[in-house]
Structure 1
Amino acid sequence: MLETEEDIIQCIQEDEWMMDILRTVQTLELPDWWICAGFVRSKVWDLLHNFSARTPLPDVDVIYFDPANTCEQMEKEYEKQLNSMSSHIPWSVKNQARMHHVSDMPPYSSSVDGIAKFPETVTALGVKLNGSGHVVLTAPWGVRDVLKMEVRPTTYYLGSKKAVYNQRIAAKKWPEVWPKLKIFDTDGKLSIAHKPNVRKG
């Protein structure tokens, strides 16, 4: 049963594939690093759907916070380093000290602040390893929505950024993979969920 933050942490600690990825990123010693978004969210939803096979990730989102060097090329260098260690992983590395430009927001104060400003509450999740090698979870909007499989916008996407949230939801097509999801629009109304034939096992 997945009911709490501690349950999420435990299921990740028991997943050797995820732990290997976390250990690999930890070796870079990036400032304020996390692996976020689908890396955590998809794991939770796969378990809640009783999938025996992992849903493939389009990328593994590694973030860090380094205001002293916001050159995008530095991110590419970190990706190269990660690829040299695990070439089969679709790495994506982003410095949150510059990502506010992409999101058209005021500067972020930390990686967790950047995570808090992701479009969906279920995406605003991050994990890393502490000095003892144990999983640490950050969830600025809590874990209720991801555990209830309810997709909602964060408050930053309820105003002028409504279209960004709506476009992402339409493009992601998450209910085609996880049919138990409930998608809420920016007015808090439950959208009509698509219930296609979904893979089993």
Structure 2
Amino acid sequence: MTTLETRLVDIIRADPALMQVLTTVRGLDLPDWRIFSGAVYQGVWNAQTGRPVGYGIKDYDLGYFDADTGWDAEDGVIKRVAAAFAPPLRDLVEVRNQARVHLWFEKRFGEAYEPLPDTDTALSRFVAPAFAVGVRLEADDTISVAAPFGLEDVFSMTLRPNPLRGVAKGWARAVASAWGRWPELTVIEPQGPA
């Protein structure tokens, strides 16, 4: 484990709500699952800026991968996850089968999206490398980290476009949202139109 991964794991373990989410989801035994995006990188930003644990975190994105791409199968998992939590977490854990993302992504976001082979591959398609981090609480209580771009941008609080894809149509909105809560961010704007 790298020094940054160790720091990330320490930050996660210090967040009671995130640890509750990780522990509860682990108990559900979902296939190829991770908690990713804001609930992870925003915890780092809070630690880096001295903000309280949980500041700015709007939800807990839960991705899992099930080859059954039917809506009924995903809806069953959504209901199962919701039943595992009491409010307020029940309303904050957002569940998506990564095997289904390509079915709705283009209509919702206006961009084509190739089918994914697994949950971790989804991270490589996120808007910015800083957003592309996922964690899972393993059976032995270790926290595994998936970060295809590394953790440097997360800890340096740098937002730059994902170099593996075109600039996301939602780039400006994502930057404005993050900057509004963490004005300490360094933003590297795309070279082409956003």
* TM-score, scaled to structure 2: 0.85
Q: Deviations over 1:71-99 (max 9, x none)?
A: 23333322222222223111211111121
| 1:139–1:163 Cα change, 3 Å | closer
Whether the 8 Å contact between 1:108 and 1:114 is mirrored in structure 2 is yes
Measure the CA separation in 2 of the matches of 1:58 and 1:71. 27
- What is the deviation of 1:185? 1.5
Give the unaligned 5+ runs of structure 1: 189-201
Measure the CA separation in 2 of the matches of 1:91 and 1:38. 12
Aligned to 2:94: 92
Instruction: Read off the aligned partner of 2:126 and give its amino acid letter.
Output: F
- Superposed, 1:43-192 pairs within 5 Å as 43-67=43-67, 69-86=68-85, 87-89=87-89, 90-101=92-103, 102=105, 104-158=112-166, 162-169=167-174, 172-187=176-191
Aligned to 1:6: 6
Whether the 8 Å contact between 1:120 and 1:165 is mirrored in structure 2 is no
Instruction: Read off the aligned partner of 2:34 and give its amino acid letter.
Output: W
Where 2:28 maps in the other structure, the secondary structure is: coil
Where 2:17 maps in the other structure, the secondary structure is: helix
Whether the 8 Å contact between 1:13 and 1:134 is mirrored in structure 2 is no
Whether the 8 Å contact between 1:40 and 1:125 is mirrored in structure 2 is yes
Structure (1/2) with the larger helix percentage: 2
| 1:182–1:23 Cα change, 3 Å | same
Whether the 8 Å contact between 2:127 and 2:168 is mirrored in structure 1 is no
Whether the 8 Å contact between 1:62 and 1:93 is mirrored in structure 2 is yes
Where 1:94 maps in the other structure, the secondary structure is: strand
* Equivalent pairs, count: 181
- What is the deviation of 1:108? 1.2
Q: Deviations over 1:47-78 (max 9, x none)?
A: 111012521432210001111x1123333322
Instruction: Read off the aligned partner of 1:145 and give its amino acid letter.
Output: D
Instruction: Read off the aligned partner of 2:76 and give its amino acid letter.
Output: E
User: RMSD value over aligned CA atoms?
Assistant: 1.9
Whether the 8 Å contact between 1:25 and 1:82 is mirrored in structure 2 is yes
- What is the deviation of 1:34? 0.3
Whether the 8 Å contact between 1:157 and 1:165 is mirrored in structure 2 is no
Structure 1 stretch displaced more, 106-115 or 11-20: 11-20
Whether the 8 Å contact between 2:43 and 2:53 is mirrored in structure 1 is no
Give the unaligned 5+ runs of structure 2: 107-111
Where 1:173 maps in the other structure, the secondary structure is: helix
Aligned to 1:36: 36
Measure the CA separation in 2 of the matches of 1:115 and 1:27. 23
